[in-house]
Amino acid sequence: MGGETADAAASALKDLVQRHGEALSIELQAHQRKTFAPESEKTIRPFAPAEAARLLGIHESYLRQVAAGDKAGASAQKGARRSYSVQDISDLRHALDQGARGNRRYLPHRGGDEHLQVVTVMNFKGGSGKTTTAAHLSQHLALHGYRVLAIDLDPQASLSALFGHQPETMVGPNETLYGAIRYDEARRPIAEIVRGTYIPELHLIPANLELMEFEHDTPKALMGRREGDTLFFARIGQAIAQAQNLYDVVVIDCPPQLGYLTLSALTAATAVLITVHPQMLDVMSMSQFLQMTGDLLDEVSRHGASTSYDWMRYLVTRFEPGDGPQNQMVAFLRSIFGEHVLIHPMLKSTAISDAGLTNQTIFEVERQQFTRATYDRALESVTNVSAEIEGQIRKAWGRA
């Protein structure tokens, strides 16, 4: 009798959840269509001359001169240009590089002895700022001339959505990283999965719920394992290795779990970035996360995985400088972790959260949407954080 009631309740819940899931999906798709038409490719705003010059690392007057001589200048109106597209900036970068005879000042691509940097952004605390960090870091690096592959490893696909690739409508079967790491014959080369974005130097592997399959497949694969099979923790590294000559930096946005996907990303990584919101509950959760990660790394290294890293840093996210308890928490973290906490925190800013609401980053939103001070403060914070991480990457390559 009790079993029957329980069954009825379970089937009622199943129906309810299914109905709610469908209703929500329809409404969300309608919302997306309003935000941007399905066929319209997402674009990035043009950059003002001062911004373009800063990205290229040259003076504005020199930019004007170079642009006049370059094909990017051809579309310029008579007199000074008002703006530069990301494609213009990329073209100018190549033109400057030719002039500089490839001394890597303008095109910072890695050389033969500099290994691919694979940066995983992780923490199992939901909402700690992983996706926001991964998106801005990837765009910052690409806008500065690095060849970047951003991998969305979260079945929730927030990074993909932020980059304009809607997981439900624009990412089909076998079009996530799962396609390149799956255990069966449907596995395909990673090159077939990579997509371009509106920034020429930035590529994306999008996510959707299909990635969850890896969490389900792995226990089965472990049981039916044959000699020579690649174990789960080595699979992401192996997939990335197929494309390593095409990129300087790979940025992986992890899901807020310590599952097989995250562990495999951690094994593929050359560097680890742990995002932490400076509040007691978040820091307590991170403490557990660190202990579990330590144990799991211990386990996979016993099975032959490499677990040495070029660098590991904590990034303080959504930081409010006027908040006393947050400042105490940051001081506490610095006292324990020392130089492992990045000097620059990511400031909490309505410019960043509002941009996120329309699936945009601070590089994409129009500055006029915000007061100038709000926008500039957010951009400065993102730039400081990303530049500090860029510094870690360059140090790992042995550059100044």
Ligand X SMILES: Nc1ncnc2c1ncn2[C@@H]1O[C@H](COP(=O)(O)OP(=O)(O)OP(=O)(O)O)[C@@H](O)[C@H]1O
C-beta of 117 vs 360, nearer to ligand X: 360
Contact partner, 176, from ligand X, Mg ion, none, Cβ < 5-8 Å per class = none
C-beta of 66 vs 379, nearer to ligand X: 379
- Shortest spacing between CB 395 and Mg ion, in angstroms: 27
C-beta of 92 vs 153, nearer to Mg ion: 153
- Shortest spacing between CB 108 and ligand X, in angstroms: 26
- Shortest spacing between CB 47 and ligand X, in angstroms: 21
Contact partner, 132, from ligand X, Mg ion, none, Cβ < 5-8 Å per class = ligand X
Give yes or no for a contact between 207 and 153, defined as CB atoms under 8 angstroms apart.
yes
Amino acid at 383: T
- Shortest spacing between CB 317 and ligand X, in angstroms: 6
Closest by CA position to 126, among listed 254, 265, 316 = 254
Q: Which stretch binds Mg ion (CB under 5 A): 60-68, 129-137, 207-215, 361-369?
A: 129-137
Among 93, 110, 130, 313, binds Mg ion (CB under 5 A): 130
C-beta of 158 vs 262, nearer to Mg ion: 158
Asked if residue 136 binds Mg ion (CB under 5 A), the reply is no
Q: Which residues bind ligand X (CB under 6 A)?
A: 126-132, 154, 158, 256, 317-318, 346-349, 352-353, 356
10 Å CB burial of residue 112 (0-12, 13-18, 19+) is exposed
C-beta of 131 vs 262, nearer to ligand X: 131
Separation between Cα atoms, residue 240 and residue 82, nearest integer Å: 40
Q: What is each CA distance from 315 to 237, 274, 300, 344, in whole angstroms?
A: 24, 6, 25, 8
Q: Which stretch binds Mg ion (CB under 5 A): 130-138, 206-214, 293-301, 360-368?
A: 130-138
Q: Which stretch binds Mg ion (CB under 5 A): 27-35, 152-160, 269-277, 337-345?
A: 152-160
Give yes or no for a contact between 262 and 153, defined as CB atoms under 8 angstroms apart.
yes
- Shortest spacing between CB 266 and Mg ion, in angstroms: 16
Which residues does 387 contact at the CB level (< 8 Å), separation at least 6? Answer: 140
Asked if residue 131 binds Mg ion (CB under 5 A), the reply is yes
CA dihedral 293, 343, 158, 44 (to 10 degrees): -150
Asked if residue 158 binds Mg ion (CB under 5 A), the reply is yes
- Shortest spacing between CB 275 and ligand X, in angstroms: 6
Handedness of CA 262, 266, 272, 278 (dihedral sign): positive
Q: How far from chain centre, in Å, is Cα 389? A: 13
Q: Where are the beta strands (DSSP E) in the chain?
A: 117-122, 148-152, 195-196, 202-205, 249-253, 271-276, 311-316
Separation between Cα atoms, residue 137 and residue 389, nearest integer Å: 8
Q: Which parts of this chain interact with Mg ion (CB under 5 A)?
A: 130-131, 158
